[in-house]
Amino acid sequence: MNELKLKYGCNPNQKPAKVFVEGGELPFEVLNGRPGYINLLDALNGWQLVRELREVTGKPAAASFKHVSPAGAACAEPLDDVLKKIYFAEDVELSEQATAYVRARGADRMSSYGDFAILSDECDETTAAYLKREVSDGVIAPSYSAKAMEILKAKRKGTYLVLKMNPNYQPSAIERKQVFGVTFEQLRNDIKISDDCLKDIPTVNKTFTPEARRDLLTALITLKYTQSNSVCYAKGGQAIGIGAGQQSRVHCTRLAGNKADYWYLRQCPKVLELPFKENVKRPDRDNAIDVYLGGETFTDTWQNLFTVKPNPLTDEDKRAWLKNLHGVSLASDAFFPFGDNIERAHLSGVDFIAQTGGSIRDDNVIETCDKYGIAMAFTHIRLFHH
């Protein structure tokens, strides 16, 4: 099949809508449900991300996409008990592929609500079972076990979107798109993210641990498929904070840093011990935790989620807990123009950085890194994505 009609385009008034390829077949098959325009943008961008992450790390990879940018991305590193708790995975057995997706979705559960799940390897029973529990629009993977398909076809009253990707598909080297009747054409961004990106280290500290290298590559690959400007914080083989689509780079760094802080604050004992009633649903818990971390006053609606009134998490509590966050990696899709980005990154435990380099203020950026003992690499590649 080389053409597929869609419900509508980006919005319901944008009809007709379809996807098609010229001189070939569509690289995916619809196994269940009916895809929408944005579903397919998420699926095809996300597939490229997890395929590259799988290749670089040698482990199953996953991403959680919303509105053509990842809310999270990860490879299959083991989960400790605290992460299992904050990712709502305490009571389930997880395969490597399931672990990758749990990490990807858990990075920013607020943003992952209603996501499109992207899997590098076969969707097995444990991954499908976890997906069934979460609010998600669809999934794409290269294959599905029989049991996984049975589980997924029952989700959302049988309408859950399931796409099977052809893992051998290679698109044309030239890509095109239209804007306001004008056709744009360019070479597809086929640049490879590898250890070669981390060779030029202008800072005094030139040591990248193996974990930092993995995390920097994870962050760079994530940025390759994130709407620019973008910055990504990573730790433990997963993105923990992504700032996408901002016009100012320091705003990217702040946005992503705030998300990384929230990811770590969710592991704080006061948050882990919030006295939720037993029947509170996971999305409601996520929303309440976000309000709690933001220091907002709980209304009666929020108070009804708890058995007793929670003890407040003060600014002093937050600062004390965040001082324990170290070993975070940070990547940027273009150069840092000022040292203020490094100052903000330092507040979120960043010890390793990869960025393009080439700013007229590189000296100031390097100097700020040296002030905090941060190791930074100039990748000499830009990863804008629009």
pLDDT at residue 301 greater than cutoff 80: no
- What predicted TM-score, i.e. pTM, was given to this entire model? 0.96
| 31 phi and psi angles, rounded to 5 deg | -95, -25
Homologous superfamily in CATH for domain 3-165: AICAR transformylase, duplication domain (3.40.140.20)
CATH number of the structural domain 269-312: 1.10.287
The pLDDT score that the predictor gives to residue 195 is 95
For the annotated catalytic residues, the residue numbers are 66-67, 229, 386
- For residues 217 and 195, the answer to whether their CB atoms sit within 8 Å is yes
The pair of structure tokens assigned to 342 is 């490094």
* Span 192-213, pLDDT tens digits: 999 999 999 999 999 999 999 9
* Span 27-55, pLDDT tens digits: 999 999 999 999 999 999 999 999 999 99
DSSP 123: B
- For residues 160 and 173, the answer to whether their CB atoms sit within 8 Å is no
CATH number of the structural domain 191-265+322-378: 3.40.140.20
Give me the residue spans of the domains in the chain.
3-165, 191-265+322-378, 269-312
Residue with token string 């054409």: 185
